[in-house]
Amino acid sequence: MSFIKEVRTLVSENIRDYGMYIALAVIILTFTVMTNGLFISSRNISNLLDSAGYIAVLAVGMTLVIVIRHIDLSVGYAAGFLGAVAAILLTQAGVSMFITIPIILVLGVATGLLNGVLVAKIGIPSFVATLAGMLIFRGALLQVTEKTGTIIIRDDMFNAIGNGYIPSLMEVNGLHLLSLLVGMVGIIFYIYSEMNTRKNKMKYNFEVVSTGIFILKLVFVSAIIAYVTWILAGYNGFSWTVIVMLAVVLLYHFLTTKTVLGRHIYAVGSNPEAAHLSGINVKKITYIVFGSMGMLAALSGILFTARLQSATTTAGTLFELDAIAAAYVGGVSSAGGVGKVTGAIIGAIVMASLTNGMNLLGVGISYQYMIRGGVLAGAVIFDVMTRGRK
Amino acid sequence: MSFIKEVRTLVSENIRDYGMYIALAVIILTFTVMTNGLFISSRNISNLLDSAGYIAVLAVGMTLVIVIRHIDLSVGYAAGFLGAVAAILLTQAGVSMFITIPIILVLGVATGLLNGVLVAKIGIPSFVATLAGMLIFRGALLQVTEKTGTIIIRDDMFNAIGNGYIPSLMEVNGLHLLSLLVGMVGIIFYIYSEMNTRKNKMKYNFEVVSTGIFILKLVFVSAIIAYVTWILAGYNGFSWTVIVMLAVVLLYHFLTTKTVLGRHIYAVGSNPEAAHLSGINVKKITYIVFGSMGMLAALSGILFTARLQSATTTAGTLFELDAIAAAYVGGVSSAGGVGKVTGAIIGAIVMASLTNGMNLLGVGISYQYMIRGGVLAGAVIFDVMTRGRK
Amino acid sequence: MSQYILEMNSISKEFVGVKALSNVNFQVEKGEIHCLIGENGAGKSTLMKVLSGVYPFGTYEGDIVYEGNVQQFGKISDSVKAGIAIIYQELALFPDLSVYENIFTGNEMKRGGVIDWNETILQAKKLLQKVKLDVNPETLVKDLGVGKRQLIEIAKALSKDVKLLILDEPTAALNEDDSENLLKLLKELKTQGITCIMISHKLKEVISIADKATVLRDGQTICTLDATKKEVTESIIIKNMVGREIEDIYPKRPKREKGERILELHDWTAYDPAIGRNVVKNVNLHVNKGEIVGISGLMGSGRTELALSIFGNAKGYKLQGDLMLNGNLTNLKHPNEAIKAGIAYVTEDRKGDGLFLLQDIKSNISAANLQGISSKGIINDNEEIIIADKYKKSLYIKASSIEQEVGKLSGGNQQKVSLGKWLFVGPKLLILDEPTRGIDVGAKFEIYTVMNELIEAGMSIIMISSELGEVLGMSDRIYVMAQNELKGELTIEDASQETIMELATQ
Amino acid sequence: ACSQTTGGGSGSVDVGIVLPTKDEPRWVQDEQRFKEALADSDYTTEILFSQGSSAKEKENVETLLNKGIKVLIICPHDGDAAAAAVEAAKKDGVTVISYDRLITNTDAVDYYVTFDSVAVGAAQGQYLVDNVSGSDVPLYLYAGAASDNNAFLFFEGAWNVLQPKIADGTFKVANSSEAEALKDKAMLSRDEMSKILGQVTTNWDPNEAINKAQTHLTAVGADLKGDVAVLAPNDGTARSIADVFASDGDVSSYIVTGQDAEKASIQYVIDGKQSMTVFKDVRTLVTDAMGMAVSILDGDTPETTGSYNNGSVDVNAKQTDVIVVNQENVQKELIDSGYYEASEFEGL
Ligand SMILES: Nc1ncnc2c1ncn2[C@@H]1O[C@H](COP(=O)(O)OP(=O)(O)OP(=O)(O)O)[C@@H](O)[C@H]1O
Ligand SMILES: Nc1ncnc2c1ncn2[C@@H]1O[C@H](COP(=O)(O)OP(=O)(O)OP(=O)(O)O)[C@@H](O)[C@H]1O
Ligand SMILES: [Mg+2]
Ligand SMILES: [Mg+2]
């Protein structure tokens, strides 16, 4: 009785945070029913996550940019351009991928910092500064691919980032062992860290949820991880793209929730004046956020290039709008200071699920655009409504 | 002596306002020299202005949207979609162009108002609301052109809006008489209105510039009008596109500088709180500005469709970014409250001149993108610097 | 017919959690100048906003009877049409527009929607002459100082066909001459039959100009004083305004030995490039360990700027003069350097630049000293909770939990969160800017108690305050500022309302 | 920066060339070949790109007209929408050569040199028909952008050949319910085609092609795998689709078409990852187009081999046959003919 009441309070208090998970669940359920379960098949889920990867990574960076009340329109072509540079390094210059990737990431940071300087130091509105950047990167992409057209990459290791899966080690009943292990480690890590947090809280004599609820939560989340792992293990196991995506989310989740830097970012977004008077270097934070965006654009470019096993002349077209849409669906607010990186990933997966599900159903392309527009508007309307602001 | 001093003071006081005109003059001069005068030939100038038309019209509306601190990303595909609807009405439904055009303009206002409601009433950030609109219009455009693909328009009168010229009446030394007359009327109107303003000011005992300066200004501006007229009259005379563009600028210039509505728009942009406290209905102004943007998007769609004599499936792609770039080059500020419609037109002409001049010079497309990006960034940096803000 | 142009009967107005007005009655006679006085947060501005339709009919209780009719203003333009013009405390001007446009925005000189600019400029000039402001009407408002902006607001009000003019602290930012001009202007308007309600904290002004004065306290009408009955005097006003014995509000603390000097300013001048003039001029002051130094003065006298210039030059002024911390010449270039040097600054505008309103109490408290709860850049959430809980208890913050959003707290509790944030930095010198503005009596008392505890613990405090009672009740020493300069220093023994006001209005 | 002009930035130009976009490698090839063909010509030319915009295309034509061209060689982005541009040229007395893609519904086109887009599609379809055996072979259809008229032309050509074989049960359409529903219809209306394209469009985007291919392979049962045939519209999407099909364990073999003979795809053909590509020997087309231009400039009448009706007039045309390149003839057609260098590929 009091248990049910506790659940109810918890849910009603956090409805807004869960809104997007619920939306995702609804979308998954709808498509699963409409496709007779095909949507939720191992293979489809695996493909879906892979196809969301390069946008999800951008959406994480974009969320932070929007949190500090800016926007970055240049990331699409920046990703395309940096991907092409990676391809050139790998093929024409014959640089190893272990050197290429760091170089590209550093280049990404540099381009991001340039945006940061234009915005924070010179004071150009980020919209225009990055619009100019978008044109420049587009020209640069055409420039570097002009001689060769599409650049094919034959480095299997590099291509695996976008197409490959972690080794299987051994198959157990058609399930990939290493992936199962990864999932298990994830669950153990999750349970351990939750228990640890709880133990610590109790040590401090803080209020914690009742044991029943706690176990319920552990079981629920573990079951989801286990289910996703099981699904993925049933196809080819975890893809490298999913691993990269998970790594980025975990890293950025940690950065934004546990570190001083993360707090400073949200403080700047929430109230730049107050942040300044609290001794936070607002310009520095702006540089860091744009720099991180640049790095993630580079990573997105790498993922995309590897996925196509080649650098194309139009790589990156409109990625920025997809990333922005994902970030907004994920609950970021342009009023600043609100938005989670986990939301960005969910937003990217929601948008990818829509595309994927509609493709499975054979929905015509014109309706696909309209439905995606509608979902984007709907998500933000829901967000604004539940936030209870005008 | 005091005359020269007066000129000098006037120039130094208004450097920011003239910056964009100077930039345009520099661009024109550079290209003229580099192309051995080809750039400034009658025909090229006529083509250049025609090619700027459909963006210039959007830029005017976008300037006002940015003035009230919003943005509209949906206008590109809205223009494309409405142009396609116009084509369908003209061809498949056989509606006369004199009925079609008003219908399309009204539809444009309706779509704009929808954006306005989402932004002002529901409170969605304009960036997302119109991003969703962009997706929806893109789908709608594909939808309506699905059956036919590109829709060819055979209505010569309609096509003349984008390709035709005002009748010549008679050629005088190879110059088109009616166009010369239009130019002359323009000059007379200009001189009359300036004299009138001056007379009025003197009647009110206001300070006016000295007679010398006044005459200098009259002569200078008249000469420019005369020169442009002469140039255009030497080819085919004024095109309908130029006439439409002039009409839009004159109308919006009048609206923004002379009417209550115009001042209220700037007041809302400058300080929405204060506007509210001054009894201005901020929501209503937002609706009006978005509604006008929608109408201009429709007009842009009409111009574009008439120019191509057909509605294509990709019409409108990226118009919004061109319009935004033109508005910013034209000196609008996203901090709100600052920006002139004349600036927007000049911005659109600057961007069109760049493309045209670089085409004449045979500059490669990749460099063209980069140079346009650079000019956009440069224009805004100049603006920010001269405004002396951080 | 009644002689009242305005009667406000039993007006009540509630904000979420705050009862700003309860059963206020307020009558104004035709053609008089009626002053509305009371402490910060007494509800003066709110009452006027109810009158002008900012808070439209239906959002308040009670009746507004204006010119004999019950009025139900649904929006601001309704009250304007009725001839009521109001000049708000936070100026409502358009910085990017010219003076003449500002004057006539919302009330354009027009013919069929088209503006007659010549007529506009002409009228603007006349109005500017009327308010004795000598500026070119084509100047942009952002290029003008606050004083001139105030006069433009008045010109704007006069541009309407005004019968009842309301001014909310119009002279707060004006210097002596400008204030006097303004008061003369009001008297002139009175002769033209314009009724005037003026809110002011400057008692001298009130005494010199008011025909009547109504005192508000804690959202209630206390009394209406009549000048013809010689009731409008300083002592009567203060008695009614404060309404309680000072000993009750200001907790005593034991006298302490004078400690060493921890802060000294010599010929300290700050030039603000954004507005193009000195905002602090030639200030010499010092603060000893373990004392509360009060800085008093009228609004706009430059006290906030002085604090900001000390606090790591937060607004980027051009500084001259020396700042010594513990006897060492120091140069602080950013608030974080000031924080490291042991200075903390609690801003006067807690919502605008003090707090992160969308974040919870604990993140706000830890915001300025995350280092204190983290190792190697990683935050220890549990420590944060401990700290936040500690300040919640020691500062008597009333909230359901430390996870409550700060934006949803009442003003007093917000102020305590703001204070907690800075106490957690562990400063040696705490600058409090208007620490009790808009805070109820109980909360005030709690804040004063905390201040005393801090002094006991060896901290020093600079308290900037416009409330004389607070300055007198809490300070060990008092500096008085006016027109961006220090006009004098008073020991607590020499200080009285009169001596302070004398210096402040110099 | 004036890399595309052989006549100097400002001097007058004799032949203007407008190509659709630099974003697709195909047109970069054309640019390259034009430059080579012009190296020893007396006439000056200039090449401009329209970047997928009919409006920019029109601006380009106007610019070239300003520069006094006498012959315009134009490959329209959109054959219908280009009418306005060439009509302007016609008014100036410029001879218009429609290059590769026909400009439709206008009388302002003088000549047409072409590989014939419909024929390209037909060659793709024919290759599939020739290389399958048995019946009920799963057929995966893909197409270009639903917003691109050329995508419809390619698809139309392929459908003309494939449809009878679908109807008679040789093929079974695996990934489009709309195509399945229309399988007995030989001539599709634009509307019907767009229903199919809406489902199988790649938007000319290799990434979209991957998404679609993966989805389709997920959606079908094992009965629609095994030995399959894939109609891929061009090389960029063909490679992506081939990669996806190659990675599916249930697909024992696949035949996939292509178009444009991009270097990257030639490598795929050599490696056996892509079955064929339709090689359009751009050199022939360029030579034909330039030959026509030169004879016009010289005052002669160019040779033509037939005519195409563009909906308004019959346009004299010279058609160049497309060459189907697969693993067997790749050496002969592309390397021996000197189109590409052998050193550009591995494993020949
Ligand atoms: N918009 C609002 N939301 C919530 N509370 C408000 C709001 N506006 C005012 N208050 C509260 O109402 C009370 C009265 O405020 P008001 O501004 O009327 O005071 P005042 O007498 O004008 O003070 P001051 O002298 O500082 O201007 C204060 O407690 C204030 O915090
Ligand atoms: N934005 C501005 N533009 C022009 N002058 C300004 C501006 N802000 C403040 N000032 C001027 O700076 C001086 C100091 O103002 P400030 O409000 O800091 O004083 P204060 O003593 O802290 O008053 P308060 O009681 O409001 O805290 C005043 O003379 C004011 O007119
Ligand atoms: Mg007030
Ligand atoms: Mg202050």
| pLDDT grade for C37, boundaries at 50, 70 and 90 | confident
- b/e per residue, D84-107, with b = 16+ CB within 10 A? bbbbbbbebebbbbbbbbbbbbbe
For atom 4 of ligand 1, which residue has the closest CA? Answer: C15
With a pLDDT cut of 70, the percent of chain B lying above it is 98
Which range is least confidently modeled, A13-27, A223-237, B158-172?
A13-27
| pLDDT grade for A265, boundaries at 50, 70 and 90 | very high
pLDDT of residue D98: 94
Query: Which of A238, A272, A297 marks a domain boundary?
Result: A238
The pLDDT tens digits of the residues spanning C412-456 come to: 788 899 999 999 999 999 999 988 876 766 777 888 989 999 998
| Domain shared by A14 and A154, yes or no | yes
Q: Which atom of ligand 2 is nearest to the CA of C466?
A: 25
Can you tell me the mean pLDDT for C379-404?
88
Can you tell me the mean pLDDT for A217-229?
91
Tally of domains in chain A: 2
- b/e per residue, C208-240, with b = 16+ CB within 10 A? ebbbbbbbbbbbbbbebbebeeebbeeeebbeb
CA distance B160 to D55: 16
CA–centroid distance, residue C444 to ligand 3 (Å) = 18
Which chains, if any, share at least 3 CB pairs under 8 A with chain D? A, B
Candidates D162, D235, D149; CA nearest to D194 is D149
CA–centroid distance, residue C173 to ligand 2 (Å) = 7
Residue B3 has pLDDT above 90, yes or no: no
| pLDDT grade for A390, boundaries at 50, 70 and 90 | very low
Q: Give the H/E segment covering residue D231.
A: strand D226-231
The pLDDT tens digits of the residues spanning B215-247 come to: 988 999 999 999 999 999 888 889 999 999 999
For atom 7 of ligand 2, which residue has the closest CA? Answer: C146
Residue D147 has pLDDT above 90, yes or no: no
- Which ligand has its closest atom nearest to the C-alpha of C438? 1
Residue D106 has pLDDT above 70, yes or no: yes
Beta strands in B124-246 (DSSP E): 151-152, 171-172, 175-176
Mutate to test the pocket of ligand 1, among C13, C14, C45, C349 (most ligand atoms within 8 A of CB): C45
Q: Give the H/E segment covering residue C464.
A: strand C460-464
Q: Give the distance from CA B152 to its chain's centroid.
A: 26
The pLDDT tens digits of the residues spanning C130-188 come to: 888 888 888 888 888 767 888 888 888 888 888 999 998 887 666 667 778 888 888 88
Candidates C140, D324, B125, C153; CA nearest to A384 is B125
Can you tell me the mean pLDDT for A71-96?
95
pLDDT of residue D271: 92
| pLDDT grade for D231, boundaries at 50, 70 and 90 | very high
Partners of D56 on chain B (C-beta within 8 Å) are 355
Residue A281 has pLDDT above 90, yes or no: yes
DSSP 8-state symbol, D343: G
Answer with the residue of higher pLDDT: B248 or C492. B248
For atom 31 of ligand 1, which residue has the closest CA? Answer: C438
Cβ <8 Å between A278 and C312: no
CA distance D299 to C387: 93
Can you tell me the mean pLDDT for D202-220?
90
Can you tell me the mean pLDDT for C208-233?
87
With a pLDDT cut of 90, the percent of chain B lying above it is 60
Partners of A267 on chain C (C-beta within 8 Å) are 356, 359, 363, 367
pLDDT of residue C2: 58
Can you tell me the mean pLDDT for A337-347?
91
Partners of D190 on chain B (C-beta within 8 Å) are 147-149
| pLDDT grade for D42, boundaries at 50, 70 and 90 | confident
pLDDT of residue C300: 73
Residue from the list C91, C114, C121 with its beta carbon closest to the beta carbon of B258: C114
pLDDT of residue D155: 95
Most confident of A169-178, B331-340, C452-461: C452-461
| Domain shared by A384 and A288, yes or no | yes
Q: Give the H/E segment covering residue C295.
A: strand C292-297
Query: Which of A191, A214, A238 marks a domain boundary?
Result: A238
pLDDT of residue D3: 36
Query: Which of B185, B207, B238 marks a domain boundary?
Result: B238
Residues with Cβ within 8 Å of B107's Cβ and at least 6 positions away in sequence, in order, are B82, B85, B298
Residue A207 has pLDDT above 60, yes or no: yes
CA–centroid distance, residue C195 to ligand 2 (Å) = 29
Give B139→chain D minimum CA distance, Å: 10
Phi and psi dihedrals of C114, rounded to 5?
A: -100, 135
| Domain shared by B245 and B360, yes or no | yes
Give D212→chain B minimum CA distance, Å: 18
pLDDT of residue A117: 96
Beta strands in D158-209 (DSSP E): 171-173
A337 CB within 8 Å of a chain C CB:
yes
Can you tell me the mean pLDDT for C454-465?
92
Give B192→chain D minimum CA distance, Å: 37
B388 CB within 8 Å of a chain C CB:
no
Give B205→chain C minimum CA distance, Å: 9
Can you tell me the mean pLDDT for D300-327?
90
The pLDDT tens digits of the residues spanning C273-303 come to: 877 789 999 999 999 999 999 999 876 788 9
**H, E, C per residue of C318-356:** EEEEEEEECCEECCCCCHHHHHHCCEEEECCCHHHHHCC
Cβ <8 Å between A364 and D199: yes
Does ligand 1 come within 6 angstroms of the Cβ of C212? no
Which range is least confidently modeled, A268-277, C132-141, C336-345?
C132-141
pLDDT of residue C242: 65
| Domain shared by B277 and B192, yes or no | no
Average pLDDT, chain C: 86
| CB-based touch D/C (3+ pairs, under 8 A) | no
Does ligand 1 come within 6 angstroms of the Cβ of C411? yes
| Domain shared by A73 and A102, yes or no | yes
Partners of D66 on chain B (C-beta within 8 Å) are 38, 41, 43-44, 47, 360
Residue D84 has pLDDT above 80, yes or no: yes
Output the CA angle C201-C204-C209, nearest 5 degrees.
95
| Domain shared by A233 and A244, yes or no | no
Give the CB-side neighbour count of residue B328, counting CA atoms within 13 A.
30
Given a contact cutoff of 8 angstroms between Cβ atoms, the answer to whether D108 and D87 are in contact is yes
CA–centroid distance, residue C438 to ligand 1 (Å) = 7
| Domain shared by B188 and B310, yes or no | no
pLDDT of residue C175: 65
Mutation target for B interface from D59, D60, D87, D190: give the one with most B CBs within 10 A: D59
With a pLDDT cut of 90, the percent of chain C lying above it is 35
Residue from the list C88, C121, C122 with its beta carbon closest to the beta carbon of B277: C88
Does ligand 1 come within 6 angstroms of the Cβ of C18? yes
pLDDT of residue C151: 83
The pLDDT tens digits of the residues spanning D242-280 come to: 999 998 889 999 999 999 998 889 999 999 999 999 999
Mutate to test the pocket of ligand 2, among C305, C463, C466 (most ligand atoms within 8 A of CB): C305
Identify residue D303 by its one-letter amino acid code: E
| pLDDT grade for C233, boundaries at 50, 70 and 90 | confident
pLDDT of residue A112: 97
Q: Which atom of ligand 1 is nearest to the CA of C46?
A: 18
Cβ <8 Å between B360 and D84: no
Q: Give the H/E segment covering residue D178.
A: helix D177-181
Does ligand 1 come within 6 angstroms of the Cβ of C220? no
Residue from the list C314, C379, C421 with its beta carbon closest to the beta carbon of A276: C314
Domains of chain C listed by start with CATH number:
4-242 (3.40.50.300), 291-314+338-505 (3.40.50.300)
| Domain shared by B146 and B11, yes or no | yes
Residue A192 has pLDDT above 90, yes or no: yes
CA–centroid distance, residue C43 to ligand 2 (Å) = 23
Using DSSP bridges, classify how beta strands C4-15 and C61-66 pair: parallel, antiparallel or unpaired.
Answer: antiparallel
| Domain shared by A112 and A252, yes or no | yes
pLDDT of residue D9: 43
The pLDDT tens digits of the residues spanning B101-123 come to: 999 999 999 999 999 999 999 98
B199 CB within 8 Å of a chain C CB:
no
| pLDDT grade for A249, boundaries at 50, 70 and 90 | very high
| Domain shared by A196 and A106, yes or no | no
Does ligand 1 come within 6 angstroms of the Cβ of C379? no
Residue A111 has pLDDT above 60, yes or no: yes
pLDDT of residue C243: 65
Give C256→chain B minimum CA distance, Å: 47
Residue B390 has pLDDT above 50, yes or no: no
Residue C104 has pLDDT above 70, yes or no: yes
| pLDDT grade for C246, boundaries at 50, 70 and 90 | very low
Cβ <8 Å between D1 and B361: yes
Give the CB-side neighbour count of residue D231, counting CA atoms within 13 A.
39
CA distance A104 to A110: 10
Residue A221 has pLDDT above 50, yes or no: yes
Answer with the residue of higher pLDDT: B173 or A282. A282
CATH number at residue B355: 1.10.3470
Among all residues of chain B, which has the CA nearest to that of C91? B274
Q: B207 is in which domain, residue-wise?
A: 171-238
| pLDDT grade for D164, boundaries at 50, 70 and 90 | very high
pLDDT of residue B212: 86
Q: Give the H/E segment covering residue C151.
A: helix C146-159
Mutation target for D interface from B239, B309, B371: give the one with most D CBs within 10 A: B309
Q: Which atom of ligand 1 is nearest to the CA of C219?
A: 14
Q: Taking the model in full, what pTM does it have?
A: 0.89
| Domain shared by B39 and B175, yes or no | no
| Domain shared by B232 and B92, yes or no | no
Does ligand 1 come within 6 angstroms of the Cβ of C24? no
The pLDDT tens digits of the residues spanning B194-213 come to: 898 888 888 887 777 888 88
* Residue pairs spanning A and D at CB distance below 8 A: 85
Cβ <8 Å between B128 and A334: yes
Q: Which atom of ligand 2 is nearest to the CA of C433?
A: 27
